[in-house]
């Protein structure tokens, strides 16, 4: 989620290529520019140790953009992650 290169707000579903404590790398259809601020919302599934699904929300600044016409998505993005983040618990639905 963020503002694209022409100033329009966008929300897009994609998959991460890589993530660390400092950087996230992924492909986007929406055109963004270096310096843009984007917000990522990541689903974390429950495991044996986690009782509920979690949602991680984190923002960051675009530090690298590479256009690629041969990929399904238009731009390869590197996002420098902010240190602040939010984690929300998503209660399991009972049947």
| H helical segments located in the chain | none
pLDDT, tens digit, 9 for 90 and up, residues 17-32: 999 999 999 999 888 9
* 9-17: Cβ within 8 A, 24+ apart: 14/73, 16/42, 17/76
What does the DSSP 8-state code read for residue 6?
Answer: T
Strand partners, 2: 10, 38
Q: Identify the CA nearest to 58 among candidates 7, 23, 32, 14.
A: 23
The tens digit of pLDDT for each residue in 58-94 reads 999 999 999 877 766 689 999 999 999 898 888 766 6
Domain segments of the chain as ranges: 2-90
pLDDT at 72: 64
Residue 52: the pLDDT is 85
Please tell me the predicted confidence (pLDDT) of residue 6. 85
């Amino acid at each position: 989620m963020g503002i694209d290169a022409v100033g329009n707000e966008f929300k897009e579903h994609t998959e991460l290529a890589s993530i660390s404590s400092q950087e996230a790398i992924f492909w986007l259809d929406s055109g963004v520019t270096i310096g843009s601020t984007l917000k990522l919302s990541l689903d974390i599934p429950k495991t044996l140790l986690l009782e509920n699904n979690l949602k991680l929300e984190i923002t960051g600044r675009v530090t690298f953009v590479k256009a690629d016409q041969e990929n399904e998505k238009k731009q390869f993005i590197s996002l420098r992650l902010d240190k602040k983040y939010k984690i929300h618990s998503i209660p399991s639905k009972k049947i």
